[in-house]
A = this chain, B = another copy of it.
Amino acid sequence: MPADTLSATFAALADPTRRAILARLTSGEASVTALAEPFEMSLPAVSKHLKVLERAGLIARGREAQWRPCRLKADPLKDADEWLERYRRFWEESFDRLDEYLGEIQKQEKKRGGNGRTKEDNDARSK
């Protein structure tokens, strides 16, 4: 388990089963048995995942002996989101570059007098 909170959050999210458990908990609290159901997994295996999520502060568990429902605690995800926030302009920039590139292709098409359609498009239109 990583020492810092943000690393613990990201480590907990680095598993498809744990992400599926969190997704399930968005519709309300659930028992371990209910959480285990959709996965072909033993209860101890699911419990292990729940412990990782609980230590990362992503879920909390009820204190009733028989029924210890799990519920989502989304606050650590807010910190993860804030960390990602400052990288947003970088992926937006790469989309801008793609836009520029596509614009350039269209301009070249026009210069060549093409209509930007493929042979298949024209075949389809002539039917």
Contact = CB atoms under 8 A, between A and B. Distances in A.
Contact of A80 (B26, B84, B93): B84
A contact patch SS: helix
State how many copies of this chain the complex holds.
Answer: 2
A125 interface: no
Interface in A64-112: 72, 74-75, 77-78, 80-81, 83-84, 86-88, 90-91, 93-94
A22 to B, nearest CB: 7
A39 interface: no
Given A10-B11, A14-B7, A16-B7, A26 B84 contact: no
Interface string A1-45: 010101110110111100100110010000000000000000000
Contacts of A19: 6-7, 83
Pick the 6 closest A-B CB pairs, nearest first: A74-B90, A10-B14, A11-B14, A78-B91, A10-B13, A74-B91
